[in-house]
Amino acid sequence: MVNHRGGAIPLLNLFYMATKNSITGDEIKSKALSAQGRANWDKIFAKKTALAWAKEENIFIMDADGFNWQDGITVDSLISYSEYQERICHCTILFQPNK
């Protein structure tokens, strides 16, 4: 292997070239999940029905207009929390007090 100046690149460097932050100079690598990340893991990655997401937020869906867009997603479809948030604002809902 030859670099852009015509010099040889040691093979070891080809297999491990750490990515560095151009501002701080720190090596970029994965870190452990924070406490906040662990607490919100389900909201980030879980797939639940709209009814299950609503139940967690003490919401009763009275009219599921946001889930009647003729795109195959209903209140019984498994969706992410962000998909739920995108559609729930188009529904008629009732907030229920905490039990």
Q: Is the residue at 8 inside a domain?
A: no
Q: Is the residue at 10 inside a domain?
A: no
For 51, the domain range is 37-99
Torsion of CA 64, 70, 71, 74, to 10 degrees: 30
Q: Is the residue at 81 inside a domain?
A: yes
Per-residue pLDDT of the chain (99 residues), as tens digits, is 555 566 665 555 555 566 888 888 888 888 888 888 888 887 888 999 999 999 999 999 999 999 998 899 999 999 999 999 999 999 999 998 876
Q: Is the residue at 15 inside a domain?
A: no
Q: Is the residue at 28 inside a domain?
A: no
Counting the structural domains of the chain, the total is 1
- What is the rounded radius of gyration, in angstroms, for the C-alpha atoms of the chain? 24
pTM tops 0.75, yes or no = no
* Residue 30 to residue 7: CA distance in whole angstroms: 32
Q: Which helix (H) or strand (E) holds 59?
A: strand 59-63
Q: Is the residue at 45 inside a domain?
A: yes
